Structure 1
Amino acid sequence: MAQRTVRPTTQSPTVVGLDPEVAAALRARLAEVADSAVLHIVEEVPSYAGAWSGRMGEVIRNAVQLALGGFLTLATRQDADAPRAPAIEGAYQLGRGEARSGRTVEALLSAYRIGARASWREMAETAVAAGVDSGQLARFAELVFAYIDELSAASVAGHTDELESSGRVRQRNLERLARALLTGAPADAVNAAAERADWEPPGALTAVVLPESQVSHALTALDAQTLQPTDDVPGLPEGHTSLLVPSAASTTARRTLLRALRGTDAVVGPSTPWLEVGGSHRRALRCSALEIEGLVDTDDHLAALVLAADAESRADLRARVLAPLADLRPSTAEKLTDTLRSWLLHHGRRDAVAEELFVHAQTVRYRVGQLREVYGDRLDDPAFVLDATLALA
């Protein structure tokens, strides 16, 4: 990422022009003042607790020393245009480092306030002891706080840039991980993608296909680790997107997921081991093609999915099953087809067939007689019964 040019938010025209003797006294205490500032920060800002003893303590101490050194250079100049670049750049890099360490911008600004207060107290005492007059001390104070404003603004910019940069990188890695899962990449490649994305694999994932307009609503109710591929996903209906939701293979978890998606037109695939979520996604896509309205649980439509899996083969099977009716009048063939379907699904229960077809039971008896004349013993053949049930279901 191209580094942002940091421009101080405050450009103070204050000129202090400290006497060389005063500046020398302050420089002699520079390391001591820096240590004191860091100790106050560590003691008073909870997120910095324990930082002083580690590498971060040294980084903060060096940044404080650099800032104080830059300030003294500024305070001893006789013009208002003294260069600030090294200290501003150091503050910017400090902000980026703090973002990488996971500290918030609020904690960073608190550290600046506390560090400035501690540094000012000790520098003011030293300056007064070295003979600074009241007017010069007032300008000294004004310059301190204007300078801190500039440094804190630079650090906030660095913190923001780091979060944006790392956030974009992680988001790209998450998107690549989602695509790897959906395209059936080798397990070692998928595991490597998960590691790059800093994504902890769950036990299982569930694929969800839903309209793009409903994604934001759904994500507010789903696990924060949910993945969303942004590249074109083969087979995805136009205007729809996919989500890969961490889940568990239990009835309770399934109900929880469906409840979270209530009010959407999502199609929810089965829960599968996370590396096998491509299968869940393919089932959700097939079920979305059935054009069922509202929230759809694919587990409730398994038979329809099986029957729709190979439409051409099913059409051929239907034509073969109904071939004996081809020579009858179309109206008769249609009635007998309906009767055959109902008779098969109701296992020959005449009253149930009559109720479904809104005809008299004697009419059912007559039509079944016609079917037996056409099909003969095949109506009692388990193989034919299976073919006919699948063809007419």
Structure 2
Amino acid sequence: MNARQRVPVAGEDGLRRAELAALMRPALPALVDGIVTEVWRAVPVYARPGSYGRVTRHGVECAVALFVDLVQDPMAPRDELYETCRRLGAGEAHEGRTLDDLQAAYRVGTRVGWHWIMRLGRRHQLSSATMARLAEMLFGYADELARMSIRGHREALDGTQAGLRRRLLRLVTGPGTVPDELLTELAAAAGWPVPPEVVAVAVEEPSDVSWGPDVLADVDAQHPYLLLPAPVDALCVSRLGTRVAVGPPTEPGAAAHSLRWARAALRLAADGALPDVPVTWCAEHLTTLWLLLDEHLTDQVARRELAPLTQFPDRTRRRLGETLLSWLQNGGNSEKIAVDLSVHPQTVRYRVRQLKQAFGARLEDPDARFAMQTALRASGLRTAQSR
């Protein structure tokens, strides 16, 4: 499922995502019972007394709850459920079984879930567009859960080294700091020569490119990525054949930071805030990443620092904002500002008088000037991103 999906869009059936999720939640206990009953009937092995039945019910409860969470917020965290699915797949491998029964259980759960959604749609007269979005989301979601179980099954069977390498990658790019002794021990077990510095590479689409022992990769994940020794060249990452973003170099124990910046850059390139090129190098766009990584905070800074501009009409406010940014960047030189904005110097002087009346002594405060310039730069980047 694409993390950027939005289901449903505002305005469909007069509902927002939160309202649609609210319609679904009261019926979830009955849905869980229905799915569990059908799975036990269709795949009797999961109806055996003991842990099998408990695990089945727990997995179904997690899956339906997360699905509704994703209807409300497509960025809701999936980690807990994905780990459950991986364990289900690994459990089948440890039992010496194929994934046939588990895949059958997923198909049954998806079928029951879709029938439930159709009844919900009829009851609340949801539009065909909303139903189509929900169908797309449900079947993509089911595929993703199945992929997680396939991964868990494969990791249990490969026993190990490939599984160890994926787990090592998740560890060093996850939250928290990995102690040097633990990193050294796990890297030795996984056959990964620890480099002095690494870069994380975020990948737009899955890839089947094979890599040497010095690269840790998870390129069939929902958000594919790699960890390579630094420095890395464009030829190396261009082998992936899709848009990628290369994070800044870090020590191996801090690889999570490189991955965070790489994923942010990949998202901004897709949204148009960064150039549309095959390889985006974070090191070339650090200021843009810094200004746009936290949009809420950027908005707060703009509201605080540019409040005097709100007294003007929209068109005047835009022109004064452009003039203020150029004035700050050019040290108040009217001739340079006029060239920068392609206007007459007299126009610049008139606008500057307006700015001085609006901002007063704050224009002479170095801290305020820095904050205003930062807010204006961020605002300009956000405008470019929305075009």
TM-score, normalised to structure 1, is 0.49
Match of residue 18 from structure 2: none
Match of 1:290, SS state, is helix
Cα displacement string for residues 338-384 of structure 1 (whole angstroms, at most 9, x for unaligned residues): 11112112222323322332211221111111111222222111111
Match of 1:348, SS state, is coil
Match of residue 17 from structure 1: none
Equivalent runs, 1:9-28 vs 2, <5 Å? none
Q: In the superposition, relative to structure 1, how do residues 223 and 348 fare at CA in structure 2: closer, same or farther (>3 Å)?
A: farther
Match of residue 180 from structure 1: 171
Match of residue 28 from structure 1: none
Whole-Å separation in 1 of the counterparts to 2:262 and 2:342: 36
Whole-Å separation in 1 of the counterparts to 2:244 and 2:326: 32
Whole-Å separation in 1 of the counterparts to 2:351 and 2:303: 20
Kindly indicate whether residue 234 of structure 2 is the aligned counterpart of residue 258 of structure 1: yes
Please, which runs of 5 or more residues in structure 2 have no aligned partner? 1-154, 378-387
Match of 2:268, SS state, is coil
Identity over aligned pairs, percent: 31
Native 8 Å contact 2:200 2:255 kept in 1 = yes
- Once the two structures are TM-superposed, the CA of residue 174 in structure 1 deviates from its matched residue by 1.1
Match of residue 287 from structure 1: 265
Which one of the candidate residues 187, 196, 199 is aligned to 1:194? 187
Equivalent runs, 1:1-393 vs 2, <5 Å? 169-183=160-174, 184=176, 186-187=178-179, 188-213=181-206, 215-216=207-208, 219=210, 223-229=212-218, 240-247=223-230, 253-254=231-232, 257-262=233-238, 264-291=242-269, 292=274, 293-294=276-277, 295-393=279-377
- Once the two structures are TM-superposed, the CA of residue 288 in structure 1 deviates from its matched residue by 2.0
Please, which runs of 5 or more residues in structure 1 have no aligned partner? 1-163, 233-237, 248-252
Amino acid at match of 1:226: V
Q: In the superposition, relative to structure 1, how do residues 203 and 326 fare at CA in structure 2: closer, same or farther (>3 Å)?
A: closer
Whole-Å separation in 2 of the counterparts to 1:327 and 1:276: 46
Match of 2:368, SS state, is helix
- Once the two structures are TM-superposed, the CA of residue 271 in structure 1 deviates from its matched residue by 1.6
Native 8 Å contact 1:179 1:231 kept in 2 = no
Aligned residues: 213
Whole-Å separation in 1 of the counterparts to 2:308 and 2:156: 70
Cα displacement string for residues 14-51 of structure 1 (whole angstroms, at most 9, x for unaligned residues): xxxxxxxxxxxxxxxxxxxxxxxxxxxxxxxxxxxxxx
CA RMSD of aligned residues (A): 2.6
Amino acid at match of 2:191: D
Amino acid at match of 1:364: V
Cα displacement string for residues 144-187 of structure 1 (whole angstroms, at most 9, x for unaligned residues): xxxxxxxxxxxxxxxxxxxx999662111111111111124632
Relative CO higher for 1 or 2, CA cutoff 8 Å, sep ≥ 6? 1
Match of 2:355, SS state, is helix
- Once the two structures are TM-superposed, the CA of residue 201 in structure 1 deviates from its matched residue by 1.5
